[in-house]
């Protein structure tokens, strides 16, 4: 049985002091969890050090929102995998739609980052895929998403695929208050799982975690998680307040 992964993505919110307050509240409340539920929080780079201290000794996994595929060098503003590991980072979000849009990250760049991340001892890499509203309205959702999956996982071995968490995030549902219906989300998740079976094996397909991201909140998370191919959520705005994130967690438990 696959575990449920609930990851909060704090994006460009909070100073390190502010992030610490939220992280402490979450860590205090989430002391004991079912073995099949994993909680993850992803603060800004500048808050990693303090948040790492807040979650130390807890069951919460600490993550980063992006990273370079380079280990070092003339890459102004970027941060390397080793730098993240120094702060105790256990997973990295890669290919988020906002990075694709605002940082011009292509499928090829994202693939390089995935391959670089797999060379380091991160527990997981969250690989994001998703279509725009125009692509959905044109009936291209599955074509776009599965193409992103194939390109992003190029040269990733079957032994490494177990460290990849896929996150389907329809771009039109991020931060808009809109969300895909449970049926729409399940259709894409099922297609992704079948694609993993084609690319790797039934075992890889059965075991890979596929999160949903797109205006997830305490009101819709339970019905989404009840779908057979949705294994968790990548949560933005609703993870910024400890109370709302904890409400989501409690609705899944």
Looking at the chain, list the stretches that DSSP marks H as alpha helix, in order from N- to C-terminal side: 16-29, 48-55, 81-86, 97-102, 107-118, 133-137, 141-152, 158-161, 182-199, 202-207, 221-225, 242-252
Does this model's pTM top 0.95? My answer is yes
Phi, psi dihedrals of residue 62, rounded to the nearest 5° = -100, 135
Residue 11 assigned as binding residue: yes
Q: Confirm whether residue 10 is marked as ligand binding.
A: yes
Contact 246, 29 (CB under 8 A): yes
Position 31 scores a pLDDT of: 76
Catalytic residue among 96, 98, 131, 189: 96
Is 250 labeled as ligand-binding? no
31 assigned to a ligand binding site = no
pLDDT for position 174: 77
Helix axes 242-252, 16-29, angle to 10 degrees: 30
The angle subtended at Cα 166 by Cα 207 and Cα 72, nearest 5°, is 115
> Which of 169, 186, 189, 195 is flagged as catalytic?
169
Does 187 participate in catalysis according to the annotation?
no
Low pLDDT (below 50) residues in the chain: none
Does residue 96 have an active-site annotation? yes
Domains of the chain: 4-252 (3.20.20.70)
The predicted pLDDT at position 196 comes to 99
Task: Judge contact between 100 and 133, C-beta under 8 A.
Answer: no
């Amino acid at each position: 049985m696959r575990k449920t992964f609930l990851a909060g993505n704090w994006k460009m919110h909070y100073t390190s002091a502010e992030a610490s307050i939220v992280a402490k509240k979450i860590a205090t409340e989430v002391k004991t969890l079912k073995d099949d539920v994993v909680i993850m929080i992803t603060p800004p780079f500048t808050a990693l050090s303090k948040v790492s201290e807040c979650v130390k000794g807890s069951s919460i996994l600490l993550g980063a929102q992006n990273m370079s595929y380079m280990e070092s060098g003339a890459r102004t503003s970027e941060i390397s995998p080793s730098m993240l590991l120094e702060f105790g980072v256990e997973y990295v979000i890669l290919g988020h739609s906002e990075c694709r849009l605002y940082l011009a990250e292509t499928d090829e760049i994202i693939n390089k980052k995935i391959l670089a991340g797999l060379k380091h001892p991160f527990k997981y890499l969250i690989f994001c895929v998703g279509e725009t509203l125009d692509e959905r309205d044109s009936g291209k959702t599955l074509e776009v998403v599965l193409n992103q999956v194939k390109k992003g996982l190029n040269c990733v071995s079957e032994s490494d695929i177990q460290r990849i968490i896929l996150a389907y995030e329809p771009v039109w549902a991020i931060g808009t208050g809109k969300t895909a219906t449970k049926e729409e989300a399940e259709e894409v998740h099922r297609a992704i799982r079948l694609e993993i079976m084609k690319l790797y094996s039934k075992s890889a397909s059965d075991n890979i975690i596929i999160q949903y991201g797109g205006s997830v909140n305490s009101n819709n998370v339970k019905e989404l998680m009840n779908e057979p191919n949705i294994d968790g959520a990548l949560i933005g705005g609703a993870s910024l307040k400890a109370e709302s994130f904890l409400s989501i967690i409690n609705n899944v438990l």
